[in-house]
Structure 1
Amino acid sequence: MSSKLGQTKMLAPSRPALRQTTINSCFRQETHRVKKTSPKAAKTKIASPAKPKSSPPSSSPNSERVDTDVLLAIKPVHLANIASQQKNHEYRKYRLRDGITRMWFYETREGGQGRSAITHIAVIPPTVRHTPGSVPTEPFGIGNDDFNQGLKQSKYGYPILELYELIEPVTLAEMKNRWGMGSPMGWRYLAAGLWEDRWGSDEAGRAEKVRRVF
C-alpha cells in the first residue's frame, strides 16, 4: 500500500506540467497565426480607389480672335477730329495686314478729357495702306499734308470710310473684368466675344449696339 501511494505522489506533479506545455504550445501557434494574417487585413482596410484622371482645362472664349478687327488707343482730340470729319485718315507707325477692315478706338484719359473706354469703330479699306506722298490732297484732312511730306513719325495712313459710335462704350473696368484685357499698347486683335457683343454678325440687331456717325 505505501509503495502505491508513493508512486501516486510522485506522478501527480507531472500531469499538470504536460497540460501546461500543451496549452502554451497552442497559444504560441495561435499567436503566430494572428501575426501572420494581421498585415493583410490592415492592408485591405487602408486601400483606396484609384484617382480619376483630371480632364484638360477648357479654353477661354476670349482666347479666340477676329482677324478683321483690331483695337488701338487714340487721344480724345484726334477722335473728335475724326468724328467731325476734319481728319479723314488715321496714321500709325505700323502697317496693319491686308484684310483688316475695322479699327476699334480706345479713347484714352489724356488729362481727364477722355473716357478710358472703347467708344468708336472706324471702317477702313481692306488693302489700302498709304505711305508718305500717296495720300490724296482732296478732300482736305488734318495731318494729310504733313504725312505726305514725311514730317510725321507715322509711316502708314488708313483712310476712314465710316465711323460708328458704341451705344454702350466698353469701359476699362469691363475690359478687365469681363474680357480679360487692359488698355491697349500698340494694337491687338479683337476678342471674338467682345466683337459679337458690341458688333456681331446680325446686321438687323446691330442698330441696338452702334450708332452711325457718318
Structure 2
Amino acid sequence: MTPGSPRGDIIISIHPQHVANIVSRVKNHEFRSYLLPSTVKRLWIYETSPTSSIRFIATVSQGKRPGEIQDPSGLKNDEFDLGELESRAQFAYEIQKLEELPTAYSLDDLKRRGWLNGAPQKYCFVKPAMDEALKTTPLKLVFDSAVAVAVAAPQRKDEGKGRVCPLSRSGLLSSAGVKKSRKPQGKAGRKRTS
C-alpha cells in the first residue's frame, strides 16, 4: 500500500448498499452536501451498520458541481447534473480507483488500535498511527478507471426509464474508447445453417 499524502486520506461513512453499488461499478460517484478539502485524494470507506468496518479504499477526483459529471452511466449522475439532488448533494467525487484491504477492520478493531474513537459522522482524517501500520499492507485492486479496458455492449432503451443501458452482447472498445471494427463477412465467410 502506498501511503497517502499528509491529510490526503480520510475515513468516510457510506451505507453498505452504496458500497456494494460502488464495488459493482453501478455507482461511479460519491455524492456529498459538503466540499472535501482539496488535499483529499483517498477515501477509506467505513461501511455503516450492520457491517461497521473498513474494507475498501477509493481514490477520488476533486469535487464536481452539478452539470460537471456528464456521464449517464453511473447511478444518480444525471439527477446530480440536473441539480435534482441539490437538497442533499452539492458535490460529487468520481471513484477513479477502488482497492480492498486483505482483512476488514471492524469498528471494535479500529477503536482498540486507537485509529477511531467511534464511527465517523461526517469524515475524519486517517491518523498517522493507522497510516504507518497499514502503509505496507498489500491491497487488492478492485478496479482502476484509468487503466481499465472496457468491454462495451450494444445499447438499448431501458424499459420505462428512457435511459440507455448495456446489453450482454460484446463489442470491444480499445483503451482509447474507440469501437474496434469487425471485418465484414461476405457470403463466403458466413456459416450456413440448414
Do the two structures share a fold, i.e. TM-score over 0.5? yes
- 1:156 is aligned, of 79, 86, 91, to 91
Larger relative helix fraction = 1
Tell me how many residue pairs correspond in the alignment. Answer: 136
* Unaligned 5+ runs, structure 2: 144-194
Partner amino acid for 1:143? K
| Contact 2:30/2:94 (8 A) holds in 1 | yes
**C-alpha displacement of 1:66:** 4.1
Q: Is residue 71 of structure 2 the alignment partner of residue 137 of structure 1?
A: yes
**C-alpha displacement of 1:167:** 1.0
- 1:195 is aligned, of 131, 146, 153, to 131
| Contact 2:70/2:78 (8 A) holds in 1 | no
| Contact 1:66/1:189 (8 A) holds in 2 | no
Tell me which residue corresponds to 2:111.
176
**C-alpha displacement of 1:129:** 1.4
- 1:88 is aligned, of 24, 28, 36, to 28
Deviations 1:5-54 (A, max 9, x none): xxxxxxxxxxxxxxxxxxxxxxxxxxxxxxxxxxxxxxxxxxxxxxxxxx
Residue 89 to residue 66, structure 1, CA distance change in 2 (3 Å): same
Instruction: Tell me how far apart the structure 1 counterparts of residues 6 and 53 of structure 2 sit (CA, whole Å).
Output: 19
Tell me which residue corresponds to 2:100.
165
Q: Secondary structure at the match of 2:92?
A: strand
**C-alpha displacement of 1:137:** 2.2
**C-alpha displacement of 1:154:** 0.6
Instruction: Tell me how far apart the structure 2 counterparts of residues 213 and 104 of structure 1 sit (CA, whole Å).
Output: 14
Instruction: Tell me how far apart the structure 1 counterparts of residues 82 and 113 of structure 2 sit (CA, whole Å).
Output: 43
> Which structure would you say has the larger Rg?
1
Tell me which residue corresponds to 2:188.
none
Instruction: Tell me how far apart the structure 2 counterparts of residues 213 and 196 of structure 1 sit (CA, whole Å).
Output: 23
Partner amino acid for 2:60? I
**C-alpha displacement of 1:81:** 0.7
Q: Which runs of 4+ in 1 moved over 4 A?
A: none
Partner amino acid for 1:84? S
| Contact 1:72/1:186 (8 A) holds in 2 | yes
Instruction: Tell me how far apart the structure 1 counterparts of residues 133 and 75 of structure 2 sit (CA, whole Å).
Output: 33
Q: Secondary structure at the match of 1:213?
A: strand
Partner amino acid for 2:77? N
Q: Secondary structure at the match of 2:11?
A: strand
Instruction: Tell me how far apart the structure 1 counterparts of residues 70 and 82 of structure 2 sit (CA, whole Å).
Output: 12
Tell me which residue corresponds to 1:212.
141
| Contact 1:66/1:190 (8 A) holds in 2 | no
Provide TM-score, normalisation by structure 1.
0.60
Larger relative strand fraction = 2
Identity %: 32
